[in-house]
Amino acid sequence: MRLRCEVNGESREVDDVWPGESLLYVLRERMGLPGSKNACEQGECGSCTVYLDGVPVCSCLVAAGQAEGHEVTTVEGLAEGEQLDPVQQAFVEKGAVQCGFCTPGLIVATHDLLERRERPSDPEIREALAGNLCRCTGYEKILDAVRLAADRKAVS
Amino acid sequence: MSVGQPVVRVEGRRKVTGQARYTADIAEDGLVHAVSVGASVASGRITAMDTSAAHDAGGVLAIVTHHNAPRTHPVPGREVSGPAGDTIPILQDDRVYYAEQPVAVVVAHTLEQARYAASLVRVSYALEPAVATMYQRLGEAFESRYARPVVVGDVDSGFAQADVVVETTCHLQMQHQHPMELIAMTAHWSGDELTVRASTQSVGVLRAGIAIAFGLRPEQVRVTSEFLGGGFGGKASLWWPTITATMAARVTGRPVRLVVSRAQMVAASGHRARSQQRVRLGARRDGRLTAIDYDTITETSAWYDTPPPSITSITPIPYRSPAIRAIPRFVKVNTQSPTPMRSPHEGQGLVAIESAMDELAERTGLDPLELRRRNYADREPWTGKPWSSNGLLECYDLGARRFGWSRRDPKPRSMRQGGLLIGWGMSTAFRLAESRPASARAVLHADGTVLVQMGTQDIGTGTYTIIGQVAADAVGVTVDRVTAEIADTDLPPAPPSIGSFTAQTVSGTVTNAGNALRDKVINVAVADEQSPLYGAAPEQVIVHNGRMRLRDDPARGETYAELLRRNGLPAVDAIGQHNPPGIGEGTHGRYAFGVDFAEVRVDPSLGTVRVTRYVKVIEAGKIINPRTTRSQVIGGVTFGIGQALTEVSEMDTQHARIANASFWGYHVPVNADVPAIDAQFVEVDDPHVPQGVKGLGELCTIGAAPAIVNAVAHATGIRVRELPITADKLLG
């Protein structure tokens, strides 16, 4: 099929898409957006999290055809030019990144949390990020980053 | 000084914006996709293969099987400088040694086409009996020339002098590294030259292994790995994905990408081997050890006699004892070969040793920490060599204070809150602190920036960042002026990123390269008639912020950039070598030390265990970067929580297949499983390791599992001897 959707604010159109392939595959292999990561391909790890019409989803579980005519935002679409989103900035500063493979999914999931909750409590953060596995950091610095990003967004 | 500062991770920005490119992220013109077909049995012979339906599926370019695969040479595990990986011939004959061993590789234009075609490959087998676990063959346990026993003193007379003898046997299950990044390879031939992008902890090991397997000279093979999504030991060796991707590229003449699935990860590289560990401790009434007897049986794979780095091939005994006997034995099973998983040796062995120490504390009526202090080893216990440095006692003091250990009621089940049982446990942690030979090139450009090139890897811990820090200090520039190029066999060679080697190896090598570069440029300056430093003695010149000046006359000097520009030099470079003693060689025992204190809360009606408080203190010499290191330690403890409480690869004992090869079945710790972890450092000066840096990548994890085992025993009165501690082991 020819797939048309809006990705990171741009209209995109790709041909020869098999409707059953995943949105993750389309983004990575057909649109040159490999920021979203494939680590389990069955919705267990959260590394491929993107926004679909403003709702965070595991893009490995979304069929390409389901994205037709919809809006997608990936980790590549969160910074404004050189200006990092406060969530991205906080992850760098707080040491919440190690190997970085789970990071794109965590950035999107955290971004979504802070859109919904200005000052999430620690249990709310843990709940919101429960679907994002990380094998390197042990999560504590991720919590620090979320709190820092929340503080900065609340002030700005 | 940049070393010691909490410098922000240099590649962090690329990682949070999705711009860091991992192996499977990199597109190439003409790239096609390979999918491996794994054996559905664990032992036997292939009797027939039908690939016709797969060939007829759309988009298929090639199907590689043992009938048509390029012939390869055997790769002996010990001939490449890394832990043994796949040493069986891949796709060379009809033998199957373990489930999911590759029997075919399907190459197609798209990944979906390759996957579908792979599902159509039909294979028939003549089944042979498979050994699923060592418990089916304990009577066949054998000693290996690769893992020699350790014998110090006379154990029998040690036990004869003992007032108290404790004996315990622990069982550790099979566990998998499961790094977030799936193992990925892209192989690209051009003529007889091969380039492999790899998710690997060792570009050098891969190059050496590929060259042997395919009959190439090492110079014909280039391996790169710019970003790596974790490894934990599972990506350190030559495993079949490298071989099969290379074959697929050879057969199709196209660049081929092969990414294994999460389900295949349990067979695409090694794992932490199942082990049985029997410990006997003899001690005087005052707790002082008289004898340690330590027998282990560890699983190894069915086809070769190179066992995994065994628990006792590096002795996991941090205590003084006049008599020590440690004998490792092995049983062959039908699994992929085991390999180190953060961490082998002490990381597995201390579970049993420290569990036995706590039993000894109970028997002697001593506080567990006091018992360990009394048995502090002021020399390396199995050689008698002095330590290069040892801050263990300071770690004990600081950790106990921060944890509040003195308030512990020694009686099991005595501490409660609400309906929960509270337990406090601790463990000594220690790990060899070594580095391996390496070299690096440091390049000063005319704009005053510095490039460091070194064939090491960044497994996520921060190698890019610490190279910048070490180089900045050696060359005399600020850290923001330095960039690093790593993980490429075209660069000066460095060891695998294993064994906690990297920080110390980088410190030694990059310091030497940076010093050589600085000296070379100073020599240009003092010989340059137009330089303010002309005629000065080189040793009187110091460099700060990229400006050379006389030590005693700060006004007399110039910047690197001024000198290079005036002389028309686009760049100056220098090589630095690092040649440390071999592992365990040299005049001193080189180790890093630490202590773990854990609090758990156990629900006695459900058997659930939660870690609720944690203190870890580490003495690893000089800490290069407290920001990246603290994060590393917290993550390492979390890895140990998984080892203790949640992680097990469940073996189907009937068919010798792993039954839970996914994140839904293999439980890595998640956000809510992990408490706030108080990670602290004791810094000591160590003149016997480069720049005083010991390394701690594995020490982070070592000690966590035994501390939790001991905390659970304190909480419940039940000493669990089989990891992980799942609810069933605390009920009934």
Asked if domains A3-78 and A86-155 share a fold, the reply is no
* pLDDT at residue B553 in the model: 97
* pLDDT at residue B305 in the model: 58
| Touching A: B residues 215-244, CB under 8 Å | 227-230, 232
* pLDDT at residue B74 in the model: 85
Task: Assess contact for B683 and B428: CB atoms under 8 A.
Answer: no
Task: Assess contact for A87 and A77: CB atoms under 8 A.
Answer: no
Mean pLDDT of B552-569: 97
DSSP letter string over B134-202? GGGSGGG-B--TTS--EEES-HHHHHHT-SEEEEEEEEE--B----SSPPEEEEEEETTEEEEEE--S-
Is the pLDDT confidence value at B307 over 70? no
- Of the pLDDT bands very low, low, confident and very high (cuts 50, 70, 90), residue B88 is confident
d(CA B414, CA B430): 30
Instruction: Give, in words, the CATH class of A3-78.
Output: alpha beta
pLDDT in tens, B216-250: 999 999 999 999 999 999 999 999 999 999 999 99
For chain B, what percent of residues have pLDDT higher than 70? 98
Mean pLDDT of B109-134: 97
d(CA B474, CA B518): 7
Residues of chain A with Cβ-Cβ distance to B674 below 8 Å are 138-140
d(CA A133, CA A135): 7
Is the pLDDT confidence value at B80 over 60? no
Of B16, B181, B627, Cβ closest to residue A101: B181
B576 touches chain A (CB under 8 A): no
Encode A45-77: b = buried (16+ Cβ within 10 Å), e = exposed.
Answer: bbbbbbbbeeebbbbbebebeebeebebbbbbb
Of B25, B460, B672, Cβ closest to residue A99: B460
Mean pLDDT of B495-518: 97
* pLDDT at residue B203 in the model: 97
Inter-chain touch A45–B180, beta carbons under 8 Å: yes
d(CA A40, CA B21): 18
Report the relative pairing of strands B102-108 and B32-38 from DSSP bridges.
Answer: antiparallel
B112 touches chain A (CB under 8 A): yes
Mean pLDDT of B628-645: 97
pTM of the model: 0.97
Closest CA of chain A from B21, distance in Å? 8
Q: For each of the domains in chain B, give its residue range(s) and CATH number, in order of start.
A: 13-129+180-230+235-268 (3.90.1170.50), 275-434+585-731 (3.30.365.10), 435-578 (3.30.365.10)
Is the pLDDT confidence value at B652 over 60? yes
> Domain spans of chain A?
3-78, 86-155
Residues 6+ apart with CB under 8 A from B31: B186, B254, B255, B256, B257
Q: pLDDT digit of tens for each residue in chain A (156 aa)?
A: 999 999 999 999 999 999 889 999 999 999 999 999 999 999 999 999 999 999 999 999 999 999 999 999 999 999 999 999 999 999 999 999 999 999 999 999 999 999 999 999 999 999 999 999 999 999 999 999 999 999 999 887
Mean pLDDT of B72-99: 80
Q: Which of 1.10.10.10, 1.10.150.120, 1.10.3080.10, 2.70.170.10 is the CATH number of A86-155?
A: 1.10.150.120
Is the pLDDT confidence value at B82 over 80? no
Task: Assess contact for B425 and B435: CB atoms under 8 A.
Answer: no
Q: Helix axis angle, B240-252 relative to B203-214, nearest 10°?
A: 50
Chain-centre distance for alpha carbon B459: 9
Of A20, A33, A100, Cβ closest to residue B20: A100
